[in-house]
Amino acid sequence: MNWDLLTVALLAGVANWAFRALPIISRTDRQPAGGWLERFLSATGPAAIATLLVASLLPLVTPDPGKLLAVVIGIVAVLVTYYRAGSVVLATLAGAFAHGAAVWLLG
Amino acid sequence: MTGTRPLFLAGLTASLPIVMGYFPIAFSFGVTATRAEFTVLEATALSLIIYAGASQFLALALLSSGAPVLVSAFTLIAMNLRHVLYGPALMRQAGREASTRYAWAWAFGLTDEVFGQALGSLARGQRFSEPYMFGLGLGAYASWVLGTLAGAVAGGGVLDGWPSLSAGLGFMLPALFLALLLSILNRRQLPVTAVSGAVTVIGTLMFSGTTGILLGILAGALAGLVRK
């Protein structure tokens, strides 16, 4: 076992646990209703998901029209499937399948 | 404690899209780790202990380039700082009466995708429960660790001959984030998501991917302050 790796993993892992668990354990969300902190926190969720969506799509943006079209096809498949079926699972699978198929067809 | 098992199983079922999204990514992490000459045990230990995808890939790059231990650790810690915002946002949606007795255990599993899925289920009217969070978190965690193990055992170059399969698997996470966003989106949150998206692009192009993520979340949350 590489001990440098283990040390880095332990430090990062403990910090991850603290970031994820301590704000919940200390219930930092329990602030007076209607305050600025409530509006800030209720916007955090959608903000985080929108951010992560953009961050995961950015590496797929390429000047290659074929590859870009495959990304657009994947996105459209998610949108159409979600609005037709209303299911996160089906929309995710449809998007991945459509993108993979487009990459195969467009070469 | 009546109803604990069905809630746990409901969480486990809800983790299915994350499981399907995580496994291929973790698999490619395992492959990358073995390519960087880490052992199967070391690759799996990173997933078991850190359990944060993007920063694990960064850990491989830092450690294999000989970066000092503390510099590597603090870089990874800064990268995951955004997780501080997830717990309070989730508990705000869960309500004041929601129990957090076992949060010390299930909250370690509160990754980007688990947080998104949990928030989405609450936004769709489901009641918050800790067994559900355990089920949701455990499915995702098991998938991440087992995917890493499978990738590390398979070794480098295993997906090279299957570009369309590799592309489809790689698109799983963007597709999941988009579907999750659609499931929680409403008219009031549109400006928040638009600001987040725009700032993420600007932050990523001007600084780095990690900075873009942090700035995007903060800008969107701040945009929530000014909306009616």
| The pLDDT of residue B200 | 92
Q: Quick one: which of B84, B103, B85, B93 has its CA closest to B128? A: B93
In the predicted structure, residue A104 carries a pLDDT above the cut 50: yes
B-facing residues of A in 27-66 (CB < 8 A) are 27-30, 36, 38-58, 60
Domain boundaries, chain A: 61-107
Q: Assess whether B151 and B62 both reside in one domain.
A: yes
Residue-level pLDDT at B84: 82
- What integer best gives the mean pLDDT of chain A? 86
B198 and B169 together in one domain: no
Query: Are B162 and B50 members of one domain?
Result: yes
Based on the domain organization, do B81 and B172 belong to the same domain?
yes
Q: What is the pLDDT of residue B156?
A: 66
pLDDT for the residue numbered A36: 75
> pLDDT at position B174, please?
86
Q: Which of B139, B114, B102, B111 is nearest to B23 (CA)?
A: B139
Please answer yes or no on whether A82 and B183 come within 8 Å at the CB atom.
yes
Indicate whether A75 pLDDT > 80: yes
Across the interface, of A50, A89, A101, the residue whose CB is closest to B196 is A50
Q: What is the pLDDT of residue B1?
A: 46
Chain B nearest CA to A61, separation (Å): 11
The Cα-based distances of B133 to A53, B7, B116, B127, B190 in angstroms read 22, 9, 12, 11, 27
Domain assignment of residue B208, given as a range: 188-228
Instruction: List CB contacts (< 8 A) between B63 and chain A.
Output: 2, 4-5, 8
From the CA of A65, how many Å to the nearest CA of chain B? 16
In this structure, are residues A71 and A99 in contact, taking their beta carbons and an 8 Å threshold? yes
Per-residue pLDDT, A31: 61
In the three-class reduction of DSSP (H, G, I as helix; E, B as strand; rest coil), residue B2 is classed as: coil
Nearest-CA distance from A105 to chain B in Å? Answer: 9
The residue-averaged pLDDT of A14-21 equals 93
Judgement on whether residues B196 and B210 belong to the same structural domain of the protein:
yes
* Inter-chain CB proximity B38 and A97 less than 8 Å: no
The separation between CA B91 and the C-alpha centre of its own chain, rounded to angstroms, equals 18
Q: Tokens standing for B120?
A: 């989405």
Same domain, B195 and B86: no
Q: Is the pLDDT of residue A102 over 50?
A: yes
Residues B28 and B102 in one domain: yes
Tell me the two tokens of residue A16.
């991850």
**Does B125 share its domain with B219?**
no
Residues B133 and B212 in one domain: no
Q: Give per-10-residue mean pLDDT for chain B (228 aa).
A: 80 90 83 87 95 81 81 78 82 87 93 88 89 96 96 79 80 83 83 94 88 85 80
Alpha-carbon span B117 to B133, nearest angstrom: 10
Instruction: Give the integer Cα–Cα distance in Å for B63 and B143.
Output: 24
Model confidence at A32, pLDDT cuts 50, 70, 90, reads: low
Q: How far apart are CA A80 and CA A86, in angstroms?
A: 10
Question: Measured between beta carbons, which residues in chain A are less than 8 angstroms from residue B173?
Answer: 56
Encoded amino acid at B97, one letter: E
User: Looking at the predicted complex, does its ipTM rise above 0.90?
Assistant: no
Among chain B residues, CA nearest to A106 = B164
Nearest to B178 among A8, A24, A75 (CB): A75
Q: Are residues B49 and B153 in the same domain?
A: yes
Nearest to B91 among A24, A39, A95 (CB): A24
Record the tokens describing residue B20, joined without a space.
């399907």
- Cα–Cα dist A91/A75, whole Å: 10
Q: Are residues B204 and B129 in the same domain?
A: no
Q: How many domains does chain B divide into?
A: 2
Instruction: Give the residue, A1 or B217, on which the prediction is more confident.
Output: B217
